[in-house]
Amino acid sequence: MYNINNILRENIKNLTPYSSARDEYQGEASVFLDANENAFGSPLNQQFNRYPDPLQYQLKKRITEIKGVPPRNIFVGNGSDEAIDILFRSFCNPGVDNVIIVPPTYGMYQVSANINDVEARKVLLTEDYQLNLEGIAEAIDEHTKLIFICSPNNPTGNSINRADVETLLANFNGLVIVDEAYINFSRQKTFIQELTEYANLVVLQTLSKAWGLAGLRVGMAFASEEIIEVMNKVKPPYNVNEASQQLALEALSNIDQINSWIKETLTQRDRLVLELKNFDFVLDIYPSDANFILVKTTDANKIYNYLVSKGIIIRNRSKVELCEGCLRITVGTPDENTTLLQTLQNFK
């Protein structure tokens, strides 16, 4: 049976979190001489002399309106990469515990594991990029704390079968992290609605992809209240800066713009698939639920280098297991996609 107390690190269980100046008073105040800030202001048109809200109250309120998840079930991080790192630091004892990753997948799970001196056990996806449930079951031992599933998956673009993820959620005694960085482009439903069903589920989303705010570094984790409490305890007190909180809040009122960009991206994705199929160096294009496509080619390195020489950068994934010969292409604007396709016409 999953129980957070069985997987939490002892030092985190016993941790007294940093208490910030603003945490220690309650009520209204107008004179703040408690945090050693510059009381005169900032040498800018906008004022950033005060520390930001450690728990991002306004931003979470807006996220609640959009996602239907109460603030107590939301963690906001300096990108979802920060949430990944905090999960390692909260639940994995360095040199002792392990996690399971299912390559080919997002590279940060392995890097975060390495930084935290935590073993990442690799259970390759199947040939059709789905979970190898038997392999995962064999890899799990009493020190396995986290399983990372990326759906839609980066770099393959497909969604992971929902029933398989639910099998893990129902049977694994640690946390199952479902990374939904690309969910806005997907035909599949989010796992957010399963939060009430599974206490060991963590759903990651980000404002870096569909929301167009990669430069602001804002990512979210949705999970049970007890998991969110731990993450808030472990995070740096002011992990999301004031400019990012304000701008993210403003951006989140422009849903119509985002939805129309998503629609356009899907149209352009279909167009790229249709037109790329005609090139004889294209062997296969994998079905995508994301804003990129994985394309199997006859000579990935040569195509990649040719495009670089023409000022077009795509991602060469040909050295990745199960992605031999593959290039990952992000869907661009109509003009960018035209440039890509026209440039490829001249590839010899």
Ligand X SMILES: *Cc1c(COP(=O)(O)O)cnc(C)c1O
Binding interface with ligand X (CB under 6 A): 79-81, 106, 150, 154, 179, 181, 206, 208-209, 214, 219
Q: Determine contact, residues 222/202, Cβ cutoff 8 Å.
A: yes
We find the least distance from the C-beta atom of residue 306 to ligand X, in angstroms, to be 25
Pairwise CA distance, residues 208 & 217, whole Å: 7
We find the least distance from the C-beta atom of residue 293 to ligand X, in angstroms, to be 14
Kindly state the tokens that stand for 22.
Answer: 């603003």
We find the least distance from the C-beta atom of residue 154 to ligand X, in angstroms, to be 4
Closest Cα to residue 233, out of 3, 26, 9? 9
Which residue, 108 or 139, has its beta carbon nearer to ligand X? 108
Which residue, 56 or 282, has its beta carbon nearer to ligand X? 56
Which runs of consecutive H residues, i.e. helices, occur in the chain? 4-7, 10-13, 57-67, 80-91, 108-115, 133-139, 162-171, 225-234, 242-251, 255-276, 300-309, 334-345
SS3 sequence of 2-66: CCHHHHCCHHHHCCCCCCCHHHCCCCCCCCCCCCCCCCCCCCCCCCCCCCCCCCCHHHHHHHHHH
Which residue, 212 or 325, has its beta carbon nearer to ligand X? 212
Which residue, 106 or 191, has its beta carbon nearer to ligand X? 106
Which residue, 160 or 276, has its beta carbon nearer to ligand X? 160
Which residue, 90 or 291, has its beta carbon nearer to ligand X? 291
We find the least distance from the C-beta atom of residue 209 to ligand X, in angstroms, to be 6
Pairwise CA distance, residues 60 & 76, whole Å: 8
Residue 329 CA, chain-centre distance (Å), reads 18
The residue nearest ligand X at its CB is: 79
We find the least distance from the C-beta atom of residue 127 to ligand X, in angstroms, to be 21
The one-letter amino acid at 108: M
Closest Cα to residue 11, out of 86, 79, 93? 93
We find the least distance from the C-beta atom of residue 246 to ligand X, in angstroms, to be 18
Residues 6+ apart with CB under 8 A from 258: 184, 210, 211, 212
Which residue, 152 or 174, has its beta carbon nearer to ligand X? 152
We find the least distance from the C-beta atom of residue 343 to ligand X, in angstroms, to be 25
Kindly state the tokens that stand for 63.
Answer: 């996220």
What is the number of residues in the chain?
348
Kindly state the tokens that stand for 253.
Answer: 């009122």
Cα dihedral sign for 60, 200, 135, 115?
positive
We find the least distance from the C-beta atom of residue 38 to ligand X, in angstroms, to be 30
Which residue, 22 or 217, has its beta carbon nearer to ligand X? 217
We find the least distance from the C-beta atom of residue 106 to ligand X, in angstroms, to be 4
Pairwise CA distance, residues 272 & 282, whole Å: 12
Q: Determine contact, residues 327/347, Cβ cutoff 8 Å.
A: no
Which residue, 154 or 158, has its beta carbon nearer to ligand X? 154
